[in-house]
A and B are shown apart, each in its own frame.
Chain A
């Protein structure tokens, strides 16, 4: 049965070259200085005001984005659960349609839409309404994040929801539960694996993003991702970049560990 193990070889090579070796390199650079001596300075650099602020802002915006995604996606999951049939597939198709377009393009489109003299303000102006000044603010970054990552919240929630046996819902009503009790005592706990994996799939890319903040933050909003990117590219300080990356990884691992505590069954979780 396991004779075909060699079939996994290409993947193993891929993961070795694409993940393991780069990760080891990051760890190596993270703990050395320019001369190659061991140091913790790259790690403790997170305490610098600029870095700590960027990390804090990244965590905050990612958290807001995750909450907004969850609040948008969960009702969609509930509605899709109730309405079976051909329309359901179409609605899911529409919801995940943005995923088919390149992520950079979508983000760039938002930049054009939200710009002070952009499409939205053009329409508002022609209606004699006040223009909105949202571009280059954290709100624009969150909007971009939500738009980009929402499908990753909807899909796992929808998948778990669709699998919940309708008999369980009927049994709960039969035992006297109100609609609210059914939601809190049956649907929510049973869809927890989907929620957890949705949160993971939204929070992790959101906290590490630098493209969205760069495009929609107009170079004024520095998230930890932007700092790391600049250390590697602009400043050529790959030691500091690696150190900060390691710190961010630790934060993500801690968040995931906390999340997994909620997920008793261990289904659906990614980390």
Chain B
């Protein structure tokens, strides 16, 4: 697969506030890529630079190998689904969808067929003559998607398109989007701050913070092997502990030696350790690697969430078996569930440039 889109050393400042710093990003053809990060991390700015709404101060944007850095949005072969839908309130659903097609001078018959096709694709067959202001948020979102995809863009940009929808609808739309992407066979670049959304839909997740890419990889990769504490805390729940890498495959956490699978950190090196709450195994006291006492218990539906005081640390544990508050328990972790990360030397280094 070749790169359909490439950002090369892109920087952007807003009023002396550095939003993106020397960002490099390659987007492969026909992938679902998500830019994930907290607000102000630069993800939306990145998307707007790709869309052509913002010109970067430095760096280049390449589309199919051609420099489009200074090309205005109406000349780019990509379309955007905006966060607040941005449907034209003075037009019907059909007129909204036809907007881009009319501009490119398509025949009436072609436009009619396309409207029909697009409405079918988003499961809103009979809505062509409806007033867009009368639609619900979810319906407006679908129309916004339909309006973008009828133009057959090679890349579809989506700026937190599900942000304003309620939970159930959001989950439905996530599956819809995956289906759409597979049916259309085009590249999706999706911006969100919702890690669950990112993990559910993406082929590639790009975790961003403070204008830097923190980590880029498959959802599994990002979740299971976070490269730094920021990624670990941002994606899912996690126990992040300070530890000492005694030697390869052995780490000391809270005074207890845990076997792990990581190598190459050196000897007696301070490190950060990530253990996911679902990877902590609770058992009968005295039979695990550490002992502790359950201090909190919440029923979460699929599992129980417990806090366990052990070794002076409050462990977050998720388990399908329940241990009541006050019960002495043992904790153990399988070696391959212990993720070792380099400790950042300073706050700033947390936002390290990860070359991709």
A binds B: yes
Known A170-B53, A170-B73; judge A175-B99 contact (CB<8 A).
yes
With A175-B99, A176-B104 already in contact, the answer to whether A170 and B86 are too (CB < 8 A) is yes
**A174 adjacent to B90 (CB under 8 Å):** no
Q: List A residues 169-198 near B (Cβ within 8 Å).
A: 170-178, 181, 185-186, 189-190
Contact of A176 among B87, B88, B151 (CB under 8 A): B151
A185/B99 in contact, CB under 8 A: yes
Interface of B: prevailing SS:
loop
| Interface bits B99-121 vs A (CB < 8 Å: 1, else 0) | 11001100000000000000000
Check A181 against B103 for contact (C-beta < 8 Å).
yes
Q: Which residue of A lies closest to B150 (CB)?
A: A175
**Does A167 sit within 8 A of B, measured CB to CB?**
yes
Q: Which residues of B contact A190 (CB under 8 A)?
A: 88-90
User: Does A175 lie within 8 Å of B79, measured CB to CB?
Assistant: yes
Interface residues contributed by chain B, number (CB under 8 Å): 23
- Give the distance to chain B from A96, nearest Cβ to Cβ, in Å: 28
A35 CB within 8 Å of chain B: no
Q: Is B311 an interface residue (CB 8 A)?
A: no
CA A167 to CA B81, docked complex, whole Å = 10
Within 8 A of B (CB), among A99-129: none
A177 CB contacts on chain B under 8 angstroms: 74, 99, 103
Contacts of A172 in B (CB 8 A): 88, 99
Query: Is B94 in contact with chain A by the CB < 8 A criterion?
Result: no
A265 vs B90: C-alpha distance when bound (angstroms): 9
B72 touches A171 (CB 8 A): no
Report how far A178 CA is from B75 CA in the complex, Å.
Answer: 9
> Which of chain B's residues have a CB closer than 8 A to the CB of A23?
none
Given A174-B73, A174-B74, A175-B99 in contact, is the A167-B79 Cβ separation under 8 Å? no
Q: Which of A174, A189, A264 gathers most chain B CB within 10 Å? A: A174
B52: chain A residues at CB < 8 Å are 173
In the complex, which residues of chain A have a beta carbon less than 8 angstroms from the beta carbon of B79? 174-175
Q: Is B51's beta carbon under 8 Å from chain A?
A: yes
Does chain A have a CB within 8 A of B80?
A: yes
User: Are A168 and B86 in contact, CB atoms less than 8 angstroms apart?
Assistant: yes
Q: Which B residues are CB-close (under 8 A) to A168?
A: 86, 88-89
Nearest-CB distance from A106 to chain B (Å)?
37
- B79-99 vs A, CB cutoff 8 Å, 1 = contact: the mask equals 110111011111000000001
Within 8 A of A (CB), among B106-163: 147-148, 151
- Within 8 Å by CB of B84, from A167, A264, A265, lies A167
A130 at the interface (CB under 8 A from B): no
B131 CB, nearest partner CB in chain A, Å:
11
Q: Judging by beta carbons under 8 Å apart, are A167 and B73 in contact? A: no
A171 to B52 alpha-carbon distance, docked (Å): 12
Q: Kindly state the separation between the CA atoms of A134 and B86 in the bound complex, as whole angstroms.
A: 50
Cross-chain contact of B100 among A165, A170, A176 (Cβ < 8 A): A176
Residues of A within 8 A of B100 (CB): 175-176
Cα of A19 to Cα of B79 in the assembled complex, Å? 55
Which residue of B72, B83, B84, B103 is within 8 Å of A175 (Cβ)? B103
Chain A: CB-nearest residue to B157: A174
Closest B residue, CB atoms, query A182 = B74
A249 vs chain B, min Cβ distance (A) = 32
CB-based contact B89/A178 at 8 Å: no
From residue 32 to 59 of chain B, which have CB atoms closer than 8 A to chain A?
51-53
- Interface hits, A22-55 → B, CB 8 Å: none
Whole-angstrom distance between the alpha carbons of A189 and B88 in the complex?
A: 10
Closest to A179 in B: B74
Separation in Å of the B206 CB from the closest CB of chain A? 22
Is A171 a contact partner of B80 (Cβ separation < 8 A)? yes
Name the residue among A175, A181, A189, A264 with the largest chain B CB count within 10 angstroms: A175
Interface centre among B87, B100, B148 (most CB of A within 10 A): B100
Q: Are A167 and B74 closer than 8 Å at their CB atoms?
A: no
CB-contact partner of A167 in B86, B90, B147, under 8 A = B86
Complex CA–CA separation, A190 to B87 (angstroms): 12
Question: Shortest CB–CB separation between residue B99 and chain A, in angstroms?
Answer: 5
0 or 1 for each of A6-20: is its CB under 8 Å from B? (1 = yes)? 000000000000000
In the complex, the answer to whether B151 meets A165 with C-beta atoms within 8 Å is no
Complex contact A173–B74 (CB within 8 A): yes
Give the CA-CA distance A104 to B86 in the complex, in Å. 46
| A189 and B74 form a contact (CB under 8 A) | no
Bound state CA distance, A172 and B51, in angstroms? 12
Q: Which residue of B lies closest to A170 (CB)?
A: B53
CA distance A171 to B51 in the complex (A): 10
* Closest residue of A by beta carbon distance from B97: A175
Beyond A171-B82, A175-B147, is A186–B88 a contact (Cβ under 8 Å)? Answer: yes
Q: Which residues of B contact A185 (CB under 8 A)?
A: 99
CA distance A171 to B148 in the complex (A): 9
A173 to B87, CA, bound (A): 13
What are 21 A-B pairs at a CB distance below 8 A?
A: A165-B86, A168-B86, A170-B80, A171-B80, A171-B87, A171-B88, A173-B53, A174-B148, A175-B74, A175-B79, A175-B147, A175-B148, A175-B151, A176-B74, A176-B103, A177-B74, A177-B103, A185-B99, A186-B88, A189-B90, A190-B90
9 closest Cβ pairs, A-B complex: A175-B100, A167-B86, A171-B86, A173-B73, A176-B103, A189-B90, A174-B80, A173-B74, A176-B74
The residues of B with any CB-CB pair to A shorter than 8 Å are 51-53, 72-74, 79-80, 82-84, 86-90, 99-100, 103-104, 147-148, 151
- A sample of 12 more A-B contacts (CB under 8 A), given A171-B88, A175-B100, is A171-B82, A171-B87, A172-B88, A173-B52, A173-B74, A174-B80, A175-B147, A176-B74, A177-B74, A189-B90, A190-B89, A264-B90
